[in-house]
Structure 1
Amino acid sequence: MGAEQDERKADGGRPRRRWWRWLWRIPCALLVFSIVQVGVLRFVDPPFSSVMALRQLEAWGQGDWAYRIHYQWRDLDAMAASVPISLVAAEDQRFPLHNGFDLDAIEKALDHNAKGKRLRGGSTISQQVAKNLFLWQGRSWLRKGLEAWYTVLIEALWPKQRILEMYANVAEFGDGVYGVQAAAQRFWHKDAARLSAGESARLAAVLPSPRRYSATRPGPFVQRRADWIQRQARQLGGPGYVE
């Protein structure tokens, strides 16, 4: 009897052990997938981002079947030199210096928000690329954790120029308008290579809320911010700062 009971216990444990083995394989597979995903996109230009796809699905879910995403890739060296320095001046002035996370900026944002002022983010350009390219909008610990992981991968596998190039192409500059090239064509009917310093600054100025603010009809806030961005770009040393 004892031998039979031991045999039944052994048989009952096998499915459980198999279940645990498969359970551990899932995160390992996701880990490998994310590494391959980021590695491939160092060399391959993405046809869309996760935020673009979700925005399109959101519009269709609201019954807006005519809604279309405007997106066209443009290499960094085919953009006006004022574009990358404007983005860095506006969003992440320590971009060439940090490894994906700017602790000083995060601390300042926390202090600012604790005073009850308008919420300010402390995300770097690398973190924003991680969110826009691979994840979704919104606030949650899960998303922030995945954002941190993808940021580490991006900084480890991509040069800084590729990160900045990706940001310039997947950032939203108007409702459904993603990337500098699509914005230049839609707003000013020109190529991104022909953007002026003022136009580049206005594109960067709307990034806090591109569906609320307009680069072509700038109100007082956008114009003040664009002027500030141009001053900051000059103080950083101009386009050479990000080369």
Structure 2
Amino acid sequence: MVSGTSTDGAGPRRTQARPRRRWLRWLLLSPLVFALLTTAQVLVLRFVDPPLSAFMIARHFKAIGEGDWSYRTRYDWRDLDAIAPALPVSLVAAEDQNFATHHGFDLDAIEKARAHNQRMIERAEKRGTPVKRLRGASTISQQTAKNLFLWSGRSWVRKGLEAWYTVLIEALWPKHRILEMYANIAEFGDGTYGAQAASVRFFNRDASRLTANQAARLAAVLPNPRRYDAGKPGPYVLKRSAAIQRQAGHLGGAAWLRTLD
């Protein structure tokens, strides 16, 4: 008797091939899906103020993991027009003096930081001492991308995502919005994010009433806001804030903000 069922194995092989083709198709489409989703994410945040940032969420979970149940996130959004102009100008003076002209990455600052850090490493090796105060070259756009969307730490994956989000932010947001976002999500003290929360915590006043000196002190702690205190500044913060005020004056002060797009 001859059976009508094929015995050449083509049917099962064809059935097994379909899931593989489907998996390969999704693998090829995943970069496009990722690009579309992240572009939409950034575009929405051009118009919508975020209730939290990735850094805020990560810090809160870290505190819980350490058993610190009293930890609280201080965060209170303020539009840039409701923040004393001295603060955003101080942030640019301290962090990214070419903010208005670069497109997300300051190549000159990167090269200067690389050369400076190499000298510091060589000196430390000769002396047999730890390396101190390496210089970073991240722009405000890069820091906004990192704080808003990503996690802390060092890895090529995180740096790649930071670069991608930086490109999107620069392409989809005006400079005014980037600076407004940074002024609201930057960490100025442990658990204290943004101009308004920092102004109330350290100076007991609204962000709109910050003086030039207070704004410079807030900008001065940004290298390490959990180590330095804007409310009770030590010699380093005082020296750095004085330099920031001088540089803010060179930029043009409050009038400089009106040059942003």
TM-score under structure 1 normalisation?
Answer: 0.96
CA shift, 1:24, in A, is 3.0
Residues 17-96 of structure 1 mapped to structure 2, 5 A cutoff: 17-96=21-100
1-side partners of 2:118 and 2:172: how far apart? 35
Unpaired runs of 5+ residues, structure 2, are: 122-131
Q: Cα deviations across residues 93-148 of structure 1 (Å, max 9, x unaligned)?
A: 00000000000011111111112252111000000000000001111111100000
**Aligned equivalent of 1:108:** 112
State how far apart, in whole Å, the 1-side matches of 2:159 and 2:175 are: 21
CA RMSD, Structure 1 to Structure 2 (Å): 1.5
The residue matched to 1:65 in structure 2 has which SS?
Answer: coil
Secondary structure of the residue aligned to 2:8 is helix
1:214 alignment counterpart:
229
User: What is the distance in 2 between the residues matched to 1:134 and 1:46?
Assistant: 11
SS at match of 1:173: strand
Correspondence for 1:183 among 184, 191, 198: 198
Q: Which letter maps to 1:119?
A: L
- The one-letter code of the counterpart of 1:220 is P
Partner of 1:140: 155
The CA distance in 1 between the partners of 2:163 and 2:177, in whole Å, is: 18
1: CA distance between counterparts of 2:16 and 2:50?
48
Counterpart check, 1:16 vs 2:20: yes
The amino acid across from 1:106 in the alignment is I
Q: Which amino acid aligns with 1:137?
A: S
Amino acid in the other structure paired with 1:161: H
State whether structure 2 residue 188 is matched by structure 1 residue 173.
Answer: yes
2:142 equivalent in structure 1: 127
CA distance in 2, matches of 1:179, 1:50: 14
Alignment match, 2:254: 239
Of 15-24 and 166-175, the range deviating more from structure 2 = 15-24
Kept after mapping to 1: 8 A contact 2:89/2:248: yes
Write out per-residue CA displacement over residues 155-201 of structure 1, whole angstroms, 9 at most, x where no aligned residue.
00000000000000000000000001000011111100000000000
Deviations 1:21-74 (A, max 9, x none): 223343332221111110000000000100000000000011111100000000
CA distance, structure 2, for counterparts of residue 93 and residue 3 of structure 1? 74
Gaps of 5+ in 1: none
Q: Which has the larger radius of gyration?
A: 2
Matched residues, percent identical? Answer: 63
Q: Is the 8 A contact 1:96 1:242 kept in 2?
A: no
Q: TM-score if structure 2 supplies the norm length?
A: 0.89
